Amino acid sequence: MNLESLNSQQLQAVCHSDGPLMVVAGAGSGKTRVITCRIANLIKEKRFSPESILAITFTNKAAGEMKERVRNMLDLRGASPWVSTFHSFCLRILRKHISELGFSNDFAIYDTQDQLTLIKQCMKATETSTDAFPPKTLLNHIGGFKNNFLMPKDLNLDEMPYGHQLKAADLYPIYQAALKKNNALDFDDLLVLAGMLFQEAPSLRAYYNEKFQHILVDEFQDTNAVQYKLVRLLSESQKNICVVGDDDQSIYRWRGANIENILKFENDYPGTTVIKLEENYRSTQNILKAAGSVVKENRNRKDKTLWTQNEAGSPVLCYRAKDEIDESDFVCQKIQSLNSDEGFSLNDMAILYRTNAQSRVLEDVLRRYGLPYQVIGGLRFYERKEIKDVLAYMRVVLNPSDSVSLKRIINVPVRGIGKTSLEKIERYCRDKGVTLLEGLRDNAQARLTTSAAGKKISQFLQMVDELDATFRQGNPLELLTEVIDRSGYGEMLKKENTRESKGRIENLNELFSAVEQSIENGEDSLQEFLDSASLVADLDNLDDERGVLPLMTLHTCKGLEFSSVFVVGMENGLLPHASSMSEPEEYEEERRLCYVGFTRARKKLFVTHARQRRIYGNIFNYQPSDFLLSIPGEVMTREASGFNTGIELNGKKLSEGSSKTPSYKKYSDDAYSIETKDGTYSIGTKVLHAKFGSGIVLNLSGNEENLGLEVFFKAPYGKKKLSANHAKLIIL
């Protein structure tokens, strides 16, 4: 084991002896190396048994890599440290000791679908309407209770706000009883029950406190309440706890992660040694300065400044595009140039975006350029379930013989056409040699199913006929609208009201843009559009010796690094996302998300924003992200498409081909702001409404006499369309 290459801070963290230790490890500062070297040092130099060391991380991949590194350092052949994720560790403990909580050791682990089935059974038993209370929403709330280490007995129903959360709290004990009856745990239970076990069994807790002489926790900023509790219970006697993390990279608040865990650690563990790893080995000076300038404006963070001995490197290039297609063209041209002229491999570059829906246009343009790509952490746009479902409706209308598409949609959304009924009709179709649709139409006369199922089938066929009438009278865009409305698909996603369903709605909105662009390109028939969508899968499988370009969300990219990174869609409403702009804590997380994206880049960083985007089939004007205002002019150059010639930045005209400006200021052209008697409204303007509270302007329409505003307000109100003349808004 060679420690000579470690810097002084890294060496201090590795060689720290006893007592609580917090390593604040900035992006690219070598934290994984520090953790593995510390484990190896504890075993080789401090003479601790490998089995007395517990290291916890957040992904199986990270755990596997950590094990391998330690093994290679020490040439371990026998016992090894406990290195695992939180869930794996808890499962291991529960398999041994869960009988103390009244479960059998051979308990089952329910996945998401199993959970959904069980909560529906609980709802049926309690006569709870699935229309009024979507099961997925209730499960999300129950998961939230568990992430905060709250069992049913810990909840005060009288203090709960009326609605989904209250109903979830009401069903929580019934759901848990059903799990226990089935001798089953859901995924969150692995953490919660392990926590309960250590909390309620002092002798067991004492045993594991003695067993684990040293505990290390990676990515500590991503821990939730129950994970924090687990760590405290396991380390209460030894206090040899080492946590490694970076509050500037805490980006999973929506998943239960609590940034306060790393901020309060020193208070909960008196005598904590704090070591800051501030030397970055990954990025150029310019990239670091740009990233640091964005995140340092957050108030809720530990003070630190990353630095590097690396070269200054190229300035960050900021491109102002006309629209999302121009933006994608710019990105593809740069990628081609970096690949052919500078030798960057495609798999060492990455395109990062805030929402999955943004990938659609990028994918379209990448295919046009012949650049092979892979969507990481999600499906390609046309392979996403909601897209395939909606397109299946359109395919059935176009080709009634398409039984595969018909079978996909017949009970999506759920219509009460069960598996048994469908099997009877399919058997009839095989015997008669008719299509599935013909078999469905014959059902009433042939009486293949029960009268109740027959009624549901008749309603489904009526909907198909109505869609067919729309198809014959209109264009693909009108048909798409009718599919989402008449099928109930759009309503289903709205009722779910989960982060996942909101993302699916965004993808469907993006599908509107895809269809409209297809029409504008002269592909105005449904057949042409569907053919174009079908070809995507074939082209996506291209195998190119240059490698494959990764596309992913900013949430997915943490822990990765690339020579060149493109962060697209840097506009108010996208990054920062509209849903965060009126909530200070969420807004700070958006800054951290931006910081994470920037610090994935080693050599070159490109950021882009579009003046206009097509959303929901309509053109919206966007203002550049406020985060760009934080970046010093000396580390960033700017380019704009030709349409922008003549606009002013910082009082100086930006002409085509000109890129350098001393600093970045909001654009002042009329497309972004409209002056009224009450003040000037722009996209991003913060306002106050007497009923809805504070909000942020997402879009403008009309003129100063008749100005329409789309404003995003805090929950529970969300997006509202208002008239500036009648809404009596106060500009903040």
In the DSSP assignment, the letter for residue 670 is: T
- 36 catalytically annotated: no
User: Are β-strands 349-353 and 549-553 bridged in parallel, bridged antiparallel, or unpaired?
Assistant: parallel
Distance CA 468, CA 449 (A): 25
- Has 634 been annotated as catalytic? no
Per the CB < 8 A criterion, the answer to whether 71 and 55 are in contact is: no
Catalytic residue among 136, 600, 604, 613: 600
- Contacts (Cβ under 8 Å, ≥6 apart) of 533: 382, 391, 514
Distance between CA 528 and CA 534 in Å, rounded?
A: 10
- CA-to-CA distance for 512 and 491, rounded, in angstroms? 17
What is the secondary structure of 529-563 as a DSSP string? HHHHHHHHHHHHT---TT--EEEEETTT-TT--EE
Q: How far apart are CA 553 and CA 358, in angstroms?
A: 9
Half-sphere exposure in the Cβ direction for 352 (13 Å, CA):
29
Helices and strands: H and E segment counts in the chain: 26, 26
**Cα–Cα distance measured from residue 648 to residue 64, given in angstroms and rounded to the nearest whole number:** 52
SS3 call for 507: helix
Residues in CB range of 453: below 8 A, 6 or more apart: 416, 417, 418, 421
Give the list of residues 6+ apart from residue 486 with CB closer than 8 angstroms, or none. Answer: 463, 466, 467
309 tagged catalytic? no
Neighbours of 517 (CB within 10 A): 18
Task: Identify whether 249 is a catalytic site residue.
Answer: yes
Are 631 and 290 in contact by the 8 Å Cβ rule? The answer is: yes
Catalytic residue among 189, 219, 247, 589: 219
Q: Which two tokens stand for residue 680?
A: 């000037």
Tokens of 97: 């000791």
SS3 at position 687? strand
Cα–Cα separations (whole angstroms), residue 250 to 224, 605, 729: 11, 21, 34
E strand segments, 173-324: 184-186, 214-217, 241-245, 273-277, 316-321
- Angle between helical axes of 526-540 and 476-486 (0-180°, round to 10): 80
Q: Find the helix or strand (DSSP H, E) in which 612 lies.
A: strand 612-615
Tally of CA atoms within 13 A in the half-sphere of 135 that contains its CB: 16
CA triple 188-191-197, angle to 5 deg = 130
Look up residue 610 and give its two tokens: 């579009």
Three-state secondary structure call for residue 294: helix
C-beta separation of 539 from 368 below 8 A:
no
Bridge partners, residue 720, by sequence? 711
The upper half-sphere exposure of residue 390, i.e. CA atoms within 13 Å in the direction of its Cβ, equals 31
Please, are residues 62 and 559 in contact by the beta-carbon 8 Å criterion? yes
Say if CB 13 and CB 34 are below 8 A apart: yes
Residue type, 240: N
- How far is Cα 575 from Cα 568, in angstroms, rounded to an integer? 9
Catalytic (active site) residue 115 = no
Answer yes or no: 705 catalytic.
no
Residues 425, 421: Cα–Cα separation, whole Å: 6
Rg (CA), the chain: 28
The alpha-helical segments, DSSP class H, found in 18-76 are: 31-44, 60-74
| Residues 6 or more apart in contact with residue 320 via CB below 8 angstroms | 608, 609, 610, 611, 624, 638, 639, 640, 641, 644
Write down the residue that tokens 């016992």 correspond to: 79
Q: For residues 416 and 453, is the Cβ–Cβ distance under 8 A?
A: yes
Q: What are phi and psi of 672, to 5 degrees?
A: -105, -15
Give the active site residues: 31-32, 218-219, 249, 600
